Amino acid sequence: MCARDPGMSAEEPMDAPIARAFDEIRFGAARTLNLRAQQPTATQAATQTEAWLRTLQVQGATEALIITGRGLRSVEGYSPVREAIVRLLPSLRRRNVISGYAEHTPGSFVILFAPVRALFEAPLRRRERSPKIAQPLPQTLAALDEETQRQLRDLAAISLAVLGVKSPTRSQIEDEMARQFSVLTVALADDGDREALLQQAIMRAAEEYEAAD
């Protein structure tokens, strides 16, 4: 019988190093969130995970890995972080951030992303509040770069056409632009060039609408 590697966590089975190697190849560091290593509180884990998944969605990721651990090292063998993520994932699926998820191991989950355009179709639920993410971008569309406004206007026309509005009025276009701005900015990271990220999200949504035609 093989002895356990003294450097191996008590949560990990004997073949864990091989499994981790395959996960690293499949997901890479950019699409892996290791909450077990960070040891956040349950609230911190949920907030961080939602922001991270929203960012990956607008970047065009197709899948990601979240490692929560199973809580075997806790006093009661219970993982509040894992339970927080278990509660969060159905909410993100209802809001069209993700399209599905599955337990990968007893302490990790594989996440499948919804297309960016699906964000505009998500139903509003009173019990689910929008995450409070700082938004350095100006709150009026007029303050955005002209190119950003043009891209938002084009996306608004595309999405309204999908809804059957072939000749939208100026008011309808502006309302749709404001709605899209509100939806997409929630997904942007707090650091970096947020308007450049917004343009990236707009272009991805437009490409998805065109690909669906």
Residue type for position 115: P
Return d(Cα 57, Cα 96) in angstroms, integer: 10
- Cβ atoms of 120 and 180 closer than 8 Å: yes
Q: pLDDT tens string for the chain (213 positions)?
A: 444 444 445 455 555 678 778 888 899 999 999 999 999 999 999 999 999 999 899 888 999 999 998 866 655 667 899 999 999 999 999 999 999 999 998 889 999 999 999 988 866 555 555 444 334 334 568 888 999 999 999 999 999 998 899 899 999 998 999 889 988 887 776 766 788 888 989 999 999 988 876
Just give the CATH number of 16-114: 3.30.1370.110
- Cβ atoms of 204 and 116 closer than 8 Å: yes
pTM value is 0.74
User: Residues 57, 62, 63, CA angle at the centre, nearest 5°?
Assistant: 100
Handedness of CA 93, 97, 100, 101 (dihedral sign): negative
Spell out the domain ranges in the chain: 16-114, 123-212
